[in-house]
């Protein structure tokens, strides 16, 4: 157990994502699984922002109920942070958490999917480049269907990449 922890710490101390991933890939599948388990409990800057806003609102309401109406400043401040976050997708509070070392949700997801790809989780998923079952194609041709040359049936790589990028944007 202590060897796994030291591998995880050593890899976690790497400065870039690529270095961390290379370190974990060298350490083996168990190190990757351990890191994925760590990532599952990691809080993002956005999650911390939302939690802090909730704490401000609830604390302000409780203090207002028991002490003074002046404590309504806290829920108002929480509401201000929330509105700013909704309209800009980044808030002053979120930037503060980023400076404290919390990563964005996108950065966490990027590492998670890269680790899963390294581990081989997506190995058996079909890709756009795979050609349909040749038996089905020949049976279709035998029944009078359209005959396709497998090379002509391959999609243009550049077009596939453009479509994937567009799909990721929306």
pLDDT in tens, 47-61: 999 999 999 999 999
* Domain boundaries along the sequence of the chain: 2-42+113-119, 45-99, 134-169
Instruction: Read off the pLDDT of each residue in 149-153 and give the average, rounded to a whole number.
Output: 55
pLDDT in tens, 124-138: 665 555 555 556 555
How far is CA 69 from each of CA 55, 56, 66, 73, 149, rounded to the nearest angstrom? 17, 15, 9, 8, 77
Does residue 102 register a pLDDT over 80?
yes
Q: Is the pTM of this model over 0.75?
A: no
Q: How far is CA 79 from the centre of its chain?
A: 27
Instruction: Read off the pLDDT of each residue in 91-106 and give the average, rounded to a whole number.
Output: 90
């Amino acid at each position: 157990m202590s060897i796994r922890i030291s591998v995880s710490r050593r890899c976690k101390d790497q400065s870039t994502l690529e270095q961390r991933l290379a370190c974990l890939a060298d350490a083996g599948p168990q190190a990757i699984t351990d890191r994925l388990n760590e990532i599952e409990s990691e809080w993002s800057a956005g999650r911390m922002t939302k939690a802090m806003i909730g704490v401000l609102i609830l604390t302000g309401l409780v203090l207002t109920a028991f002490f003074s109406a002046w404590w309504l400043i806290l829920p108002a401040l929480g509401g201000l942070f929330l509105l700013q976050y909704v309209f800009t997708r980044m808030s002053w509070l979120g930037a503060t958490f980023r400076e404290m070392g919390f990563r964005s949700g996108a950065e966490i997801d990027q590492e998670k999917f890269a680790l899963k790809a390294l581990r081989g989780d997506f190995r058996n998923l079909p890709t756009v480049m795979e050609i349909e079952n040749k038996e089905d194609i020949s049976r279709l041709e035998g029944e009078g269907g359209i005959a396709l040359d497998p090379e002509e049936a391959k999609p243009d790589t550049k077009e596939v990449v453009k479509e994937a990028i567009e799909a990721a944007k929306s």
